[in-house]
Amino acid sequence: MAILTGRPGPGTSPPPADLSSTGRFGDRVFHGLSTGSGIVVIGLVTAVGAFLLAQALPALVRNDANFLTDRVWQVDGDPLRFGIPDLLWVTVISSLVAMVIALPVAIGVALYLTEYAPPRLARPFAYLVDLLAAVPSIVYGLWGATIIITYVAPVQTFLGSVLGWIPLFSTENAITGTIFLASIVLAVMILPIITAISREVFAQTPLTHKEGALALGATRWEMIRTTVLPFGTPGTISAAMLGLGRALGETIAVSLIMGTTNGAFSWSLFSGGETFASRIANNAQEFDTPTKAGAFIAAGLVLFVLTFVVNAMARVVIERRKAFAE
């Protein structure tokens, strides 16, 4: 009878209401504002990408080097010769190392605040962690270049003596302001972002799941491992990708730590270099011609695409994780 009458049968969920066609004025206004906000955001991202592409094309056309493979950056004369392999390597490796350092610490802090710390201690401690996000980037850069560098140097020496046979830890071209030092500072900068989101996700774990695990005889850690962590995995991935995006685009702190120490290219974490953002910032005063500026805008375009790809991959991983959980 449910099929003949067109009414939903027992246990059948009714179709979602179309807020744009309801008679409530508030629903129509909210639907319009939400839709408009989404369109504005998409339009802004598209406009930024179109602007970068339009400004970079003239320089890319006049580039006598291979933009993706040649490790040269000469934009002062004519013809232009510039490539991005060195910038891409420093940007990616410094951000990934920062993620490797920050992610376990952030998850541990989030679990402590939600599962172990008493409420009177968890709340002020959470505020202190969140305040790290309010510290300006230049302060982190000065802190890393003047204070942390003295403590990182012995660590670099030790790692080089033990793992120096691996190109990633070679000390052959070691300097003071290294990729490794920048990665540590970036890890501290993205720590509050990952911690805050992970903490909120872990706190949303259904209480019945946790109590059920404990009632079955699980220890506190077993309860966390079987209920809290699986439930919060999609949110933690989102937090990690958001932190990675912050690390990829960081400018001032990296510029202060590594400066313009180009030197010979090296795969080692203990060498110097520049990221996309720091290269643009360090040479911003030299944008005297549109074509020369276009070379740096082309580097910015690659960073824009890289960040977009990272976020797209995060969305794919999260959707697959949700499908698996369901």
pLDDT along the chain (326 residues), means of 10: 48 53 76 92 92 90 86 81 88 92 94 89 87 88 88 84 81 75 92 91 90 89 91 87 88 81 68 85 78 87 89 77 54
DSSP string, 290-309: HHHHHHHHHHHHHHHHHHHH
CA atoms within 13 A on the CB side of 182: 34
- What is the per-residue pLDDT for 290? 79
Q: How far is CA 127 from the centre of its chain?
A: 22
> Which tokens hold the place of 165?
């046979």
**Alpha-carbon torsion angle 295, 270, 106, 209, nearest 10:** 100
pLDDT of the residue at 192: 92
The model's pTM: 0.83
- How many residues in total does the chain contain? 326
Single-letter amino acid code for the residue at 33: L
Q: How many domains does the chain have?
A: 2
Residue 1 lies in a domain: no
Residues 45 and 151 placed together within one structural domain of the fold: no
Domain presence at residue 303: yes
The DSSP H or E segment spanning 192 is helix 179-203
One domain, residues 188 and 229: yes
Show the tokens assigned to 201.
Answer: 């996700």
Residue 282 lies in a domain: yes
Sign of the Cα pseudo-torsion (196, 201, 202, 208, in order): positive
CA 168 to CA 148: how far, in whole Å?
A: 21
The pLDDT of residue 233: 87
CATH of the domain at 155: 1.10.3720.10
* Separation of alpha carbons 147 and 131, rounded Å: 20
Range of the domain at 41: 19-61
Cα 325 → chain centroid: 25
Q: What distance in Å separates the CA atoms of residue 268 and residue 167, rounded to the nearest whole number?
A: 6
Whether 238 contacts 314, CB under 8 Å: yes
Q: Measuring CA to CA, which residue among 114, 127, 140, 122 is closest to residue 236?
A: 114
The three-state secondary structure class of 11 is: coil
DSSP letters of 104-132? HHHHHHHHIIIIIS-HHHHHHHHHHHHHG
Residue 169, domain member (yes or no): yes
Does 135 lie in the same domain as 38? no
Cα(200)–Cα(292) distance, rounded to whole angstroms? Answer: 46
Q: Is 212 helix (H, G, I), strand (E, B) or coil?
A: helix
Same domain, 41 and 137: no
* Burial of 148 per CB tally in 10 Å (0-12, 13-18, 19+): middle
Q: Are residues 57 and 143 in the same domain?
A: no
Same domain? For 139 and 49 the reply is no
Calpha distance 158→161 (Å, rounded): 5
The CB-side HSE value for 160 (13 A sphere, CA atoms) comes to 17
Asked if residue 71 is part of any domain, the answer here is no
78/211 Cα distance (integer angstroms):
70
Pull the structure tokens for residue 91. 């940007």
pLDDT for residue 1: 41
Which is nearest to 185 in space by CA: 280, 134, 254, 124? Answer: 254
Query: Would you say residue 69 lies in a domain?
Result: no
Largest CA distance in the chain: 81
Residues 103 and 205 in one domain: yes
CA distance 232 to 205: 7
